[in-house]
A and B are shown apart, each in its own frame.
Chain A
Amino acid sequence: MSVVDRQEWDVVVVGAGGAGLRAAIEARERGARTAVICKSLFGKAHTVMAEGGIAAAMANVNEHDNWQVHFRDTMRGGKFLNQWRMAELHAQEAPERVWELETWGALFDRTKEGKISQRNFGGHEYPRLAHVGDRTGLELIRTLQQKIVSLQQEDKRETGDYESRLKVFQECTVTRILKDGSRVSGVFAYERETGRFFVLEAPSVVISTGGIGKSFKVTSNSWEYTGDGHALALLAGAPLLNMEFVQFHPTGMVWPPSVKGILVTESVRGDGGVLRNSEGKRFMFDYIPDVFKEKYAESEEEGDRWYEDPDKNRRPPELLPRDEVARAINSEVKAGRGSPHGGVFLDVSTRMPAEVIRRRLPSMYHQFKELADVDITAEAMEVGPTCHYVMGGIAVESDTAAARGVPGLFAAGEVAGGMHGSNRLGGNSLSDLLVFGRRAGWHAAEYSAALAFERPAVDEVQVDTAAAEALRPFSAEGPAPGEPDGRPPENPYTLHQELQQTMNDLVGIIRREAEMEQALEKLADLRVRARRAGVEGHRQFNPGWHLALDLRNMLLVSECVARAALERSESRGGHTREDHPAMDRKWRRINLLCQLTDPTGGLAATDPVRGQIDLSRETTEPIRADLLALFEKEELVKYLAEEELYE
């Protein structure tokens, strides 16, 4: 069967968003022949949706900012669950990564002195986000895309071929990581356009596929976010870390229904927008948690003064970390103080002149005008929480981005876990992509170079198995083993909708034990039915087929989220338990790891009781003393258990 096209590369990068492209640039600049594979067209990755900015302590706007302050904010935002070494590297390296973009042609908004302008954002003590209006993600992706083109132009001049050292395989999907023993040997993929299979052989694979939001009904994420990288890593034998932490962005559109979930940037609040309930009250003042009491304004007057004089006043509570704001909105709606379409009001119209709004928030102005017939310069927006980001992900070594347990596998960006702890601050995602994308590309290139003369071999059996798995939806009409004849195949779109509804309702923003148990049963049922997901037509650009294949990944990842969420009996960051509403210091040092129950490849798919995922606990390394010393003792007491404080 394996008459599949094969190519040899040094490094294969799966995913072409910010992390993947930054990894590819680094690997190629370090001499590795690098292939990038992405599901969409080159330059369309989900990174374009990022609006607010890139967090980096450049101190262009407030001279007091530095990496230590950024590190502190990141740890607070993640409720101290962050893999602290990642948070440290991130805070230290982010400014260099931003400045480097300028040398590749990026054009950020400027300060009066001509430096890169920085804006306020939730959880960041100082104005820290480098930005371009509210389309920073587009600038990032385009800059990286154009840098890749420029490297290809160099290669053309030297070798006569644009793609001799760096090639983008666009509109292709990877379905399996191939292995030689414990080591990575390449990837199995198909071309979406033709349906043809191919194998890229490589000692190093960087996974940078982003998140999992498409498993939820209300989400700001695009169709690509089906947890492919998370699933690929699991299937390759790597563990996923802390998958219970899913960020619901407080402000997504709520109306009309067809755009429900689309993101409304946090910059609206960073630039002065306020949240009000149906009674016109700025309710966030009622929701400042104890750990943040000293850092936020107590009155509207103080909060308003902060925009002009941040040194003498405290910030308004609209700028609390996202988990806090999302929960507050959820509570207001539940208490009957919501807006007509089940959200709350986000208002800039009474806070800034119309032309300032249009200049600072052009895409928001455009988005509401075009999609909801709302003029945000004249009236308030209606917003509510939307599934936005997963903090959990592939467990990686902090310095090298190497996935634990699978030599040759690396992960960067949203798909990697640890960096953001239990909750990510706005703006820390784009900087994460750049810092760890670069590190992944660097170490993948080094690892690959060391194996230049003993490249891991691709196993024919694995290629055949992967091909058979990918073709399965075309022959799904047949009965399942031991089942009566004549059952029709399942519609993959229907299965997907049921999955989204399940995760939204039962493992959503507020979680309860019984509901999560129910979710696990429903997921098992869907898993059995997904085996019979069938498709019509042929392999050429067939979205039904693509979805049928993506379902495997969404189901695996959803089970991880549900199992980990059921296990963690506390509320922290992006994990809120109604039955365990408080943060518990004992849980701070506990990571939850998900691994495949049956690593030999059987997916236990027809067994509704036994799941596919094994969960284990692990106690994390103590935070390094010099990093702990950056915090006041009184603050640490709120997060760290007694024994940690005395260590």
Chain B
Amino acid sequence: MSSYEARFKVWRGDVKGGGLEDFEIEVNDGEVVLDIIHRLQATQAPDLAVRWNCKAGKCGSCSAEINGRPRLMCMTRMSVFTKEETITVTPLRAFPVVRDLVTDVGFNYTKAREVPSFVPPEGVGPGEYRMMQEDVDRSQEFRKCIECFLCQDTCHVVRDHEENKPAFVGPRFLMRVAELDMHPLDAASESGLDRKKTAQDEHGLGYCNITKCCTEVCPEGIKITDNALIPLKERAVDRKYDPLVWLGSKIKRRSS
């Protein structure tokens, strides 16, 4: 097994400020950036703060920016860098720093609460749900989301625009609206809730100008823009400008 010394710059600090700190550290075959951060903790910086959990790309905890790009540290192999390259690891930029690589991601939990939940259809009991695979495929794609919040971090609507945060839930939660809207048995409209309208009026869908940055950083490969945001926009536009389409869909849904 070959190993070498790599140069790392890791942001260290807290709310009061901080800066990049230099490290030289051993790297072995097959390792990922998170392994190196752990080695720093164990050998050079025991109090280096970092979030992580599964180390297999399934929980979405170890999000950070590596050479400026939002990524999961556990899924970023060292072999994508040259041995000479200095690797810079910084906390997610769109969220306030707590300490070192740990940021306050509370924004996302606040926004999650603003999206109205699944509305179970009346008169369909547990065990009686019938849905065809092709009808759940679309929502299932969005439910692959591991809530790493990389899309929230990279989205230019909020990345450098704190002022947009109150009005914009971000790609992750617009996708959640789309997921519920495409759920074959969601009874929101029957209960008087129009998810397309709330996406537009309350969750800031209009801010999105489909630059696809969110899709590019998604570690799950979810086509957030093409499959969630654009269809949601199209539906919202129908709703907004064409009351007949709206009425038609309403009637169709009722009779099915």
A residues engaging B (CB < 8 A)? 40-44, 46, 48-49, 58, 95-96, 99-100, 102-105, 107, 109-110, 113-116, 132-133, 135, 137-139, 142, 146-147, 149-150, 152-153, 156, 162, 193, 222-224, 255-259, 262-263, 363, 366-367, 370-372, 491-494, 497, 535-538, 540-545
Contacts and interface: CB of A to CB of B under 8 A. Distances in A.
Contact of B47 (A40, A257, A543): A543
Given A107-B183, A258-B31, A493-B46, A135 B75 contact: no
Interface stretch (B125-133, B154-162, B204-212): B125-133
A366 B146 CA distance: 14
A337 to B, nearest CB: 23
Most chain B CB atoms below 10 A, which of A48, A156, A536: A48
A152 B98 CA distance: 26
A41 B51 contact: yes
30 contacts: A40-B53, A41-B61, A43-B147, A44-B61, A48-B146, A58-B127, A96-B127, A99-B126, A104-B118, A105-B120, A107-B140, A110-B131, A138-B143, A146-B117, A150-B118, A162-B113, A193-B98, A222-B52, A222-B55, A258-B28, A259-B32, A259-B55, A363-B58, A371-B32, A537-B46, A538-B47, A541-B100, A543-B41, A543-B49, A544-B47
A646 B50 CA distance: 60
Contacts, number: 174
A494 B39 CA distance: 11
Given A110-B133, A153-B113, A99 B127 contact: yes
B105 A41 contact: yes
A161 to B, nearest CB: 11
A543 B50 CA distance: 8
A372 B31 CA distance: 10
A496 to B, nearest CB: 9
A283 B143 CA distance: 38
A262 B29 contact: no
B54 A222 contact: yes
Contact of B75 (A109, A113, A370): A370
Interface residues of B, number: 60
A262 B46 CA distance: 24
B202 interface: no
Contacts of B90: none
B42 interface: yes
Interface string B17-50: 0000000000011111001000001110011111
B77 A370 contact: yes
A256 B30 contact: yes
A561 B60 CA distance: 32
Contact of A257 (B30, B147, B180): B30
Contacts of A107: 131, 136, 139-140, 143, 183
B97 to A, nearest CB: 10
Contacts of B102: 193, 541
Given A149-B113, A257-B30, A258-B30, A222 B59 contact: yes
Interface in B177-204: 180, 183, 186
B253 interface: no
A103 to B, nearest CB: 5
Contact of B57 (A46, A156, A366, A544): A366
B116 interface: yes
Contacts of B133: 109-110
A96 B146 contact: no
Shortest 6 CB-CB distances between A and B: which pairs? A256-B30, A105-B118, A537-B47, A150-B117, A544-B46, A99-B126
Interface of B: 1, 14, 28-32, 35, 41-43, 46-61, 75, 77, 98-100, 102, 105, 109, 112-113, 116-118, 120, 126-127, 129-133, 136, 139-140, 143-147, 180, 183, 186, 221
Contacts of B51: 40-41
Nearest to A542: B47
Contacts of A367: 56-57
Given A96-B126, A114-B130, A541-B99, 15 more contacts: A43-B147, A95-B127, A102-B129, A104-B120, A105-B118, A105-B180, A105-B186, A110-B133, A132-B143, A138-B143, A222-B52, A256-B29, A258-B28, A262-B56, A366-B57
Given A102-B126, A135-B58, A542 B183 contact: no
B189 to A, nearest CB: 16
A491 B46 contact: yes
Contacts of B35: 258
Contact of B146 (A102, A115, A138, A193): A138
Nearest to A262: B56
A163 to B, nearest CB: 10
Contacts of A135: 58, 144
A114 B105 CA distance: 38
Nearest to B78: A258
A112 B94 CA distance: 44
A74 B108 CA distance: 40
A44 B57 CA distance: 11
A152 B115 CA distance: 12
A232 to B, nearest CB: 20
Contacts of A372: 30
Contacts of A147: 117
B52 to A, nearest CB: 7
B112 A149 contact: yes
Contacts of A132: 140, 143
A48 B46 contact: no
B120 A103 contact: yes
A48 B133 CA distance: 22
Nearest to B142: A107
Most chain B CB atoms below 10 A, which of A224, A257, A370: A370
A107 B186 CA distance: 11
A542 B49 contact: yes
